[in-house]
Structure 1
Amino acid sequence: MSEHVWGRAAATGIGSMPGTDAREAARIVTGVLEEFPYLPELPARGPGADLIGRTAGLLVELYARLEPSGWRVGDAPGRDTRRARSWLGEDLDALEEFTQGYTGALKVSAVGPWTMAASLERRNGEAMLGDAGACRYLAESLAEGVRNHLAEVRRRVPGATVVLQLDEPSLTAVLTGRVPTASGYRTHRAVDRAVVEQALRQVVEAAGEATGGGPVVVHSCAPGVPFALLRRAGATGISFDLSLLTERDDEAIGEAVEGGTALFAGAVPATETASGGLSDPAGSVMGVRTLWRRLGLGPELLARSVVVTPACGLAGASPAYARAALEHCVRAARSLANDPE
């Protein structure tokens, strides 16, 4: 099995950080995660810095504006699109400042096509998910937007190997027909798995073209992550909340590891807990070791196959906890290499 671009015993974050200061967020992320930093997202700044609005600003020839019900397709780029692009530009400026001369793996995020389809409204107020043609157009627009975004990141940090993370928290709901309609009384029909896979592959391939074959990680903090589907779509890694795994996931996870897929294990709480939770790095990844033994996987694969992350984004944490959680991820990842059993 070949090494991943982020190396062994790696740790990184998911995406969001608390606060509104882009320079401070970039300073913390690049300082703590020296070997695998990421472009921070700061949703506390407001509309356009949120998960959906940020990616809506990347779309090509498809524009969105903010309505009381959420983000909705518009006819032309308006102030909401301009705000989203401005926030992203500020984030990129800060990242560029703190990555001068950097030559390792660098992760950036965008919302995947199916969470966007479930969240972005058509003009009639219903999600794009309810219109197959709209979903295809959205995937094409997103693929081109991702291609442009990654090219810009490579221009600003030329020594980095850029890793794309596609955030797909709604993917399982899309596959199981659990995305509600605008009225809330019905749900959208489940989307065929082959259609879901094709749209994901389209964005994954666009990312590869922009980065010269750089890895793509798909993140979902929901239960029931479709590991096999994501692997078929071309994902190099799959990011998930470790606490939500069940034994029903074992076979798919074992096949993923043996096939060379990286597991981004969300093992560290994303917000403060009553018990603290950051006193024992090795204990934080005990669930990974337990999974490994249950699957009969070789311990030598642990540090090579697993990247340690928080369970989800850190936007809801205090600034002090967010930094401590990232530092804890680094120590927990090293414990996998130093004490695989």
Structure 2
Amino acid sequence: MSTATGIGSLPGTSDHDYAEAVRLVLDELGDLPHVPELPGRGVTAAMTGRGLAVVDGLAADLQPAGWRLTDTSGVDHRRARSLLAQDLDTLEELADGATGALKTQVAGPWTLAATVEKPRGDKVLSDHGARRELAQGLAEGVGAHLADLRRRVRGVDRWIVQVDEPALAAVAHAQVPTASGFGRHRRVDPPELSAHLEWVVAAITDAGGEAWVHSCAPQTPWALVAGTGVAGLSADLDVLGPADLDTFAEALEAGRTAALGVVPSTDPATEPSDAPITERVQRWLDMLGLDPEVVAGHLVVTPTCGLAGASPAWARRAVRLTATVARNL
């Protein structure tokens, strides 16, 4: 049977909203719930701030231009860590007795390198040593983060860590702007792109987890990602090119997970029903010559991206629609 899950983010601005988000994913995505993220609460709850809260051995602070590495943690970095711990307390309470699988998310090494500045300015991406240190700190931290989750939710026996890499395509194709905004950072060579991801994937695996990589961006180098040892690939079906489709098909045939974003992540003009979405996935499988009965256990249905930009009503509907499509498949 196919499974449904969410990408991670949901709408909401308060602690009460966070508790409701946890209840929503536990109730509607019972086979594969995820740790919710509510970036609407501010920068300390958004992807980069939450990623830095996981990184081990590096300090950061929030500057007017964004997050920057520093000698000691600033108040916003401490708040990001405190908020993460508070959210996990809520998860621990509401997920008491949960069994099966659970997914969490963390910003990937290249997305952090493209969004965090060095102590003296400009992106970490601009410095080979700095981006290496950040990736290794993330690898160390994600292992500890997963150990913390295991301690909190003891009944779960399958842990998935989704490594979010929305900036990977921009890094690979020299599209990340410099501090001045007039230039672009050099492209990073494929061996280094792969190595940094491999460190994080290996840390997740060594901690007893299952690593997926997710990106909603077009031109993500999925063949490179697939070669890093990841157990799952997750993308919006609309942005996958012909070569990417082959990579996803090969992953399914090899018994790895392919998570396809097919449910709108923002309020649509006309609300879709489950039937045409189900048929679209079936056509995709047929086009690639894949037997639905053979690959169903490795096929995951998701929204096209995070739901932070959706209205609360559509977010709830999208989660339920995703679960319905998975059941149909």
TM-score grouping bracket, smaller chain normalisation: over 0.9
Query: Is the CA contact 2:62–2:77 (under 8 Å) kept in the aligned structure 1?
Result: no
Which of 301, 307, 318 lines up with 2:311 in the alignment?
318
SS where residue 147 of structure 2 aligns? helix
In structure 2, the residue matched to 1:167 is: 164
Query: With structure 1 as the length reference, what TM-score do the two structures score?
Result: 0.92
Aligned with 2:194 (options 192, 197, 211): 197
8 Å CA contact retained: 1:242, 1:287: no
Q: Match of 2:61, SS?
A: strand
Q: Which blocks of at least 5 consecutive residues in structure 1 are unaligned?
A: 1-7, 337-341
Q: What is the identity, as a one-letter code, of the residue corresponding to 1:165? A: Q
Cα offset, 1:250, TM superposition: 2.9
User: What is the 5 A alignment of 1:1-341?
Assistant: 8-19=1-12, 20=14, 21-160=17-156, 161-210=158-207, 212=208, 214-277=209-272, 280-336=273-329
Secondary structure class of the residue paired with 2:268: coil
2:62/2:74 contact within 8 Å kept: no
* C-alpha separation in 2, matches of 1:225 and 1:307: 19
1:29-55 alpha-carbon deviations (Å, 9 max, x no partner) = 111111111110111111210110111
Instruction: State the one-letter code of the partner of 1:287.
Output: R
Aligned to 1:339: none
Partners of 1:259 and 1:34 in 2: CA distance: 26
Deviation per residue, 1:189-218 (Å, 9 max, x gap): 1111111111111011111122x2x21110
* CA distance in structure 1 between the partners assigned to 2:186 and 2:289 by the alignment: 38
Aligned-pair identity (%): 48
In the alignment, is the contact (CA less than 8 A) between 1:162 and 1:215 conserved in 2?
yes
How far apart, CA to CA, are the structure 1 residues paired with 2:292 and 2:21?
35
Q: Unaligned stretches of 5+ in structure 2?
A: none
Kindly state the Cα deviation for residue 246 of structure 1 after the two structures are TM-superposed. 2.9
The alpha carbon displacement at 1:144 in A equals 0.8
**Residue deviations 1:265-291, cap 9 Å, x none?**
0110011111112xx213113332222
For residue 76 of structure 1, give the secondary structure of its aligned residue in structure 2. Answer: coil
SS of residue matched to 2:54: coil
Preserved contact between residue 112 and residue 168 of structure 1 (Cα < 8 Å): yes
CA distance in 2, matches of 1:96, 1:250: 37
Runs of 4+ in 1 over 6 A off after TM superposition: none
When structure 1 is superposed on structure 2, of 61-70 and 138-147 the one drifting more is 61-70
Write the deviation string for residues 36-83 of structure 1: whole angstroms up to 9, x where unpaired: 111101111112101101111111121111111111111111211111
Over 3 Å counting, the alpha-carbon distance change for 1:251 and 1:34 in structure 2 is closer
SS at match of 1:57: helix
SS in 2 for 1:285: helix
Q: Which amino acid aligns with 2:269?
A: A
Contact 1:231-1:261 at 8 Å conserved across structures? no
Kept in 2, the 8 Å contact 1:228–1:256? The answer is no
Q: Cα distance, 1:168 vs. partner?
A: 0.1
Which amino acid is 1:231 matched to? A
1:302 CA drift (Å): 4.1
CA RMSD of aligned residues (A): 1.3
Q: How many residues are paired up?
A: 325
Greater shift in the superposed pair: 24-33 or 163-172: 24-33
State the distance in 2 between where 1:320 and 1:270 align: 12
Structure 2: distance between partners of 1:109 and 1:250: 24
Which stretch of structure 1 is more off in the superposition, 20-29 or 108-117? 20-29
